[in-house]
């Protein structure tokens, strides 16, 4: 046991800045006195911190608080709508998406550009991603806002200790230093670049979209060409010791099954991934598949049912292991939810041991395929909110 180290003035201010900013974020329209009451800081300290946060365009002062009755009016504080924005980019297997969000996480701009990334050389893909980032920076300029942080979502294993993309099976990429490669190809602002697994960013987007009333314990399943999961326990992302957790796509659901891009056999991805569903359904793309499903085409419905059964098989293992009360279907699976959920639930009912006492909820994400890129952009903003002093120091 070691004694806690004394907190210096600098540490205290840093902590208090974050506390004040959190109070403003949680109660838009709050007054300085309100912030003081909420944080336990003196009004003088709050005033001084708020002034610094206003100076850095993190907080906006909308003038006198609107409330009826007598007494002195405070002023109305909120996160600054024209403050630093978060820029998210997702390097998908068959698209590149970008997204700009303000400090509250509101989407200001979003673009998804189809791209056959798995059949092209790495530098070519990176050049296109850089071009998309440049275009998004242009949008930020047009909106008159600065980009305060960048989040990059990738379909692979990102090593927490190094930030390297170690392996993206569906892109066939190995050991790519994504931030460095993008900085070489685009004039990016001197801000932090976070890289993370797309399924984890999507799960965070889902968590944050739910706010204080949404589920705090769930597994979010992103169905795309790859299948990834983001595990949220007690309102926190759980991604393992190295950050490699959540690789649901490589669950061996039928160990002697077809060969997967990861080298192994019978992975869930090869039985319930988007490509396999489309092929089994005889559909050209997701839009075509949805049309066939709505039209009641047997072959399409059967293909989705089969995927639902395999997905349910793997998810029953996840629930038996982690005892999470809810599964949230995202990405392609959110679109397929009406046809996918029942066969999936049937497997959960048959296989989850704790089911009779705690039935697993199967929910549908409202965020669609943009969840990951929004989560990446929102993560960039949340990094600023969690440590505004670090952000302000980077400005000078």
Tokens of 56: 């850095």
Tokens of 304: 């989705």
Assess 284 for contact with a copy of itself (CB under 8 A): no
Residue from the set 21, 23, 125, 188 that interacts with a copy of itself by CB under 8 A: 23
Q: Which listed range, 8-16, 82-90, 249-257, 380-388, lies at the site for a copy of itself (CB under 8 A)?
A: 249-257
Task: Write the DSSP string, 55-82.
Answer: HTTSEEEEEE----SSS---EEEEE-TT
Q: CA-CA distance, 288 to 283, in Å (whole number)?
A: 6
Please report how close the Cβ of residue 30 comes to a copy of itself at its closest, in angstroms.
12
Residue from the set 255, 295, 296, 396 that interacts with a copy of itself by CB under 8 A: 255
Determine the size of the site formed for a copy of itself (CB under 8 A): 54
Which residues 6+ apart lie within 8 Å of 363 measured at CB?
Answer: 215, 218, 326, 327, 328, 329
Please report how close the Cβ of residue 250 comes to a copy of itself at its closest, in angstroms.
5
Decide whether 19 or 112 has the Cβ nearer to a copy of itself: 19
Assess 280 for contact with a copy of itself (CB under 8 A): no
Assess 250 for contact with a copy of itself (CB under 8 A): yes
Task: Write the DSSP string, 329-385.
Answer: EEEHHHHHHHHHHHHHHHHHHHH-TTTTTSPPEEEE-SSGGGHHHHHHHHHHHHHHH
Please report how close the Cβ of residue 202 comes to a copy of itself at its closest, in angstroms.
16
Assess 95 for contact with a copy of itself (CB under 8 A): no
**Contacts to a copy of itself from residues 170-229, by CB under 8 A:** 217, 229
**Contacts to a copy of itself from residues 108-127, by CB under 8 A:** none
Q: Which listed range, 33-41, 178-186, 276-284, 331-339, lies at the site for a copy of itself (CB under 8 A)?
A: 33-41
What letter does residue 119 receive in the DSSP assignment? G
Closest listed residue to residue 178, CA positions, set 351, 251, 168:
168
Q: CA-CA distance, 55 to 49, in Å (whole number)?
A: 10
Residue from the set 275, 351, 364, 390 that interacts with a copy of itself by CB under 8 A: 351
């Amino acid at each position: 046991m070691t004694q806690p180290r004394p907190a210096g003035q600098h540490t205290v201010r840093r902590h208090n800045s974050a506390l004040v900013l959190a109070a403003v974020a949680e109660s838009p329209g709050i007054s300085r006195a309100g912030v003081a009451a909420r944080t336990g800081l003196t009004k003088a300290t709050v005033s001084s911190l708020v002034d610094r946060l206003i100076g850095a365009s993190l907080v906006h002062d909308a003038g006198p608080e609107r409330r009826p009755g007598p007494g002195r009016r405070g002023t109305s504080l909120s996160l600054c709508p024209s403050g630093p924005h978060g820029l998210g980019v997702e390097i998908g297997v068959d698209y590149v998406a970008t997204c700009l969000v303000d400090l509250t996480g509101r989407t200001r701009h979003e673009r998804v550009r189809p791209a056959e990334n798995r059949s092209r050389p790495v530098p070519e893909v990176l050049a296109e991603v850089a071009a998309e980032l440049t275009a998004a920076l242009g949008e930020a300029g047009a909106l008159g806002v600065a980009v305060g942080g960048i989040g990059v979502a990738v379909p692979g294993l990102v090593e927490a200790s190094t930030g390297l993309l170690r392996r993206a099976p569906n892109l066939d990429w190995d050991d790519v230093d994504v931030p460095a490669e993008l900085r070489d190809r685009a004039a990016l602002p001197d801000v932090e670049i976070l890289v993370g697994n797309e399924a984890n960013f999507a799960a965070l987007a889902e968590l944050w979209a739910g706010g204080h009333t949404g589920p705090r314990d769930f597994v979010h399943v992103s169905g795309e060409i790859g299948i990834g999961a983001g595990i949220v326990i007690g309102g926190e992302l759980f991604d393992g010791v190295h950050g490699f957790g959540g690789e649901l796509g490589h669950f061996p659901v039928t160990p002697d099954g077809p060969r997967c891009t990861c080298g192994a056999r019978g992975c869930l991805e090869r039985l319930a991934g988007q490509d396999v569903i489309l092929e089994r359904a005889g559909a050209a793309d997701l839009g075509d598949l949805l049309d066939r499903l709505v039209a009641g085409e047997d072959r399409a419905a059967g293909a989705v049912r089969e995927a639902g059964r395999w997905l349910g098989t793997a998810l029953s293992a996840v629930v038996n292991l982690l005892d999470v009360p809810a599964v949230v279907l995202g990405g392609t699976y959110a679109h397929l939810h009406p046809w996918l959920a029942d066969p999936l639930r049937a497997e959960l009912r048959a296989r989850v041991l704790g089911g009779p006492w705690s039935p697993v909820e199967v929910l549908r994400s409202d965020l669609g395929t943009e969840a990951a890129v929004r989560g990446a952009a929102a993560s960039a903003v949340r990094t600023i909110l969690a440590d505004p002093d670090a952000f302000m120091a980077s400005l000078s």
